[in-house]
Structure 1
Amino acid sequence: MRYYARKFGFYLVALWAALTLNFFVPRLMPGNPVDVLMAKLAQRGGTVDPAARRAYELLLGADTSEPLFRQYLSYLGNMARGDLGVSVSAFPAPVSQVIADSLPWTLVLVGLATLLSFLLGVVLGAFVGWRRGTWLDGLVPATTVLAAVPYFWLALILVALLASGLGWFPLMGGYDVVLDPGWNADFIGSAAYHGTLPALTIVISSVGGWLLGMRNMMVSTTAEDYVLTAKAKGLKDSRVMIRYAARNAVLPSVAGFAISLGFVVAGSIITEQVFSYPGIGSKLLQAVQNNDYALMQGIFLVITVAVLGANLVVDLLYAVIDPRTRAGG
């Protein structure tokens, strides 16, 4: 019980530290969200008097006249209430609405692509590691070379070949703009069609890492005594590979996969930019460009909670799988 209490206490402290950094880092950047909003209004021919500017400062949480510590306390209070503020990039939409609109796109695209690349890499890695020294080892350099290709370059190549050249996929967007978003077959089919090429980019660039990691763990595991004993007993190769070798070799990959799922909510900024995909990564880039403190903090908060939650789940699962990790707790 003390082990679990320590773990929860550690992650609560980590969450507080992340929230504190989340408050201070955007404020170290040059510029001011109110200035950005005033510039937008000026471009449209509008004028804002000092009283209105003051109202915008209070609305956007950019009140520079208030001491920083009081701003920090107000920020923590707003976070506790779930009030993430108002976005400058999508003014006057609240940050929570902006995140709610874009996060599902990222979760579906990056989440499914990450799951597919993990499963494909682990299965191929287990088989290659079991058959090490054969022609199958030639798969490893090929996949790692693809993983080493710059992300944006791979995305542009796929766009040029499969979208622009062959016309198999749309060039950009998350769905056909003539359709109304909703849970209907036409919209879901269009979203899946538009998301195939971005997902393929993520899978191709990440499957090599999972394959290499699983392959190396399989090579190490097959030399263990319990695997050699299982072989000596005359058990089928497939059973020894799956139930003895792969079952233990996959544990580090499972931990890495759980952590990578935490980063899924961060999206894939480069992929979303290349394909003009309406995910959270594009919103984050837009927030940085517009000095949108509230939106940056909201997105960072979602990412932080997701990563910490994934790490906590991994720690708790390891405590169940291997009770030795609770030793001394």
Structure 2
Amino acid sequence: MESRKLGATGPVVSAIGLGAMGMSDLYGPADEAESIATIHAAIDAGITLIDTADFYGSGHNELLIREAIKPYRREDVTISVKFGSRRDPFGGFTPVGSDVSAAAVKDRLAFTLRRLNTDYVDIYRPTRINPQVPVEETVGAIKEMVEAGLVRHIGMSEVGAQTLRRAAAVHPISDLQIEYSLLSRGIEAEILPAARELGIGVTAYGVLSRGLLSGHWTPGRHLTDRDFRGMSPRFQGENLEANLRLVEALREVAVDLGATVAQVAIAWVASRGRDVVPLVGARRRDRLGESLAAASLTLSPEALARIEAAVPAGAASGSRYADVILTSMDSER
């Protein structure tokens, strides 16, 4: 698989990364054996970047990755870890802000290293910033872990341009992890230009808009209680109907390109620049195989024009998160 470098100072990784969240959390039940087999298939296919968080499944996701990467050399896998969100014993998230204090950085990293059975984390990042904790404090604490050899690179997640600049003033930032897809293009106005000015790469999550752009979503699909899409505005009523009409318009383009909707959606994100690495959240080998084929899909200027005519910027119905979540996100301010 083609490789891309994450920013000016980050690691060289595969042009497509694997997001492991859904293997443990938030998208309903997952099969652990199939999840491990999917990670094996991803690495065997050339994927080197695996993204997780210490709160995915309250630690389960890290333990799953630990088991999955046993047959491989540690240096052949780039592990990106988010921290900060706090969970309760029932699987919910505590209502207080993210714990990204200097003390939390060191405490959470200690548990991550043990769960992953590794001496270092390749990229460590706060999942959200906390307005009560200066970003300089958070990044400064991670910088100490870099100096100690426990972290290789520092990343950020869902922050705005101003916060990104403040973070980069403390220590070089390898990449910004943020939602970016045909249905979510908000970063293009200020955040993406700032990242490029600072030499910071982008690892794009939600490239299939949590399944909406997979080409497999149906209006009557039943969602379990633990599937957070049941509360996502884009999956509700008329919003869902309107968004699926966009998908059908995209499908017409995909058919002409000899590709699937998902492949076109992933390839579009990859086409945004060599500093952008799409993360695919496949939980099964068949879905992974479909996503990986996007790496060989080259989109001509004509194809890109047709794609963006089918799904114009700002065409999505409903926000990407519920309002109560959006108001707390630095990237949305």
User: Is TM more than 0.5 here?
Assistant: no
Higher CA-based Rg = 1
What TM-score range do you get, normalising by the shorter chain? Answer: under 0.3
- Highest RCO, 1 vs 2 (Cα 8 Å, sep ≥ 6): 1
TM-score, length of structure 1 as denominator length? 0.24
The structure with more strand, counted as a fraction of residues: 2
